[in-house]
A and B are shown apart, each in its own frame.
Chain A
Amino acid sequence: MSLALIVLFPLLGVLINGFLGARFQKPIAGYIASAAVLASFLVALLSVLQLPSQNYVIHQTVYTWIEAGDFKADVAFLLDRLSAVMILVVTGIGFLIHLFSTAYMKDDHNDPKGHLYGRYFVFLNLFIAFMSVLVLADNYLLLFVGWEGVGLCSYFLIGFWFQRDDAKFASQKAFVLNRVGDFGFLLAMLLLFYFTGTLQFEPIFELARTNPEAFQTAGLGLAGGLTAITLLLTLGATGKSAQIPLYTWLPDAMAGPTPVSALIHAATMVTAGVYLVARSAPLFEATPVTKWVICGLGAATALIAGLTALAHTDIKKVLAYSTVSQLGFMFMAAGVGAYGAAIFHVFTHAFFKAGLFLGAGSVIHALHGEQDMRKMGGLAKKLSATHLTFLICGWALAGAVPFAGFFSKDEIIAALFGAASNPIYLVAGIVGLVAAFITALYTGRQYGQIFGGEPRDKELYDHAHEAPALMTIPLWILAAGAIFAGFLNLPSFVPGMQLFSGWLEPIFAHGAEHGVHAAANPILLLIGAIIGWGGWLIGRSLGINSARAQAPGTTSLDKFYGVVVGETGAMVAVFSRWIDEKVIDGVVNGVGGIVGGVGAAFRSTQTSFVRNYALAMALGAAVLIAYFIAR
Chain B
Amino acid sequence: MPISFYLLVSAALFSIGVAGVLVRRNAIVIFMCVEMMLNAANLAFVAAARSLGKMDGQVFVFFVMTVAAAEVAVGLAIIVALFRNRETIDVDEVNLLKG
Contacts and interface: CB of A to CB of B under 8 A. Distances in A.
Contact of A618 (B18, B25, B98): B18
Interface in A590-631: 603-611, 614-615, 618
B52 interface: no
A27 B25 CA distance: 83
Contact of A606 (B91, B92, B98): B98
A608 B95 CA distance: 5
Contacts of B95: 607-609
A611 B23 CA distance: 7
B70 interface: no
A607 B91 contact: no
Contacts of A607: 95, 98-99
B21 interface: yes
Interface in B68-99: 91-92, 94-99
A615 B24 CA distance: 12
B79 to A, nearest CB: 12
Contact of B96 (A608, A614, A618): A608
A611 B92 contact: yes
B1 interface: no
Contacts of B97: 606, 608
A618 B91 contact: no
Contacts of B18: 618
Interface residues of A, number: 12
Interface residues of B, number: 13
A610 B99 contact: no
A611 B22 contact: yes
Given A609-B92, A610-B91, A610-B94, A615 B99 contact: no
A625 to B, nearest CB: 12
A120 to B, nearest CB: 59
A608 B99 contact: yes
A415 to B, nearest CB: 82
A611 B98 contact: no
Contacts of A605: 99
Contact of B22 (A603, A608, A615): A615
Nearest to B96: A608
Contacts of A608: 94-99
Contacts of A610: 91, 94
Contact of B91 (A603, A604, A609, A615): A609
A536 B43 CA distance: 120
Question: Which of A604, A605, A614 has the most chain B CB atoms inside 10 A of its CB?
Answer: A614
Nearest to B95: A608
15 contacts: A603-B99, A605-B99, A606-B98, A607-B98, A608-B95, A608-B98, A608-B99, A609-B92, A610-B91, A610-B94, A611-B22, A611-B25, A611-B91, A614-B21, A614-B22
Interface of B: 18, 21-23, 25, 91-92, 94-99
Given A607-B99, A611-B23, 5 more contacts: A606-B97, A608-B96, A609-B92, A609-B95, A611-B25
Interface of A: 603-611, 614-615, 618
Question: 3 tightest CB-CB pairs across the interface, nearest first?
Answer: A606-B99, A608-B98, A608-B95
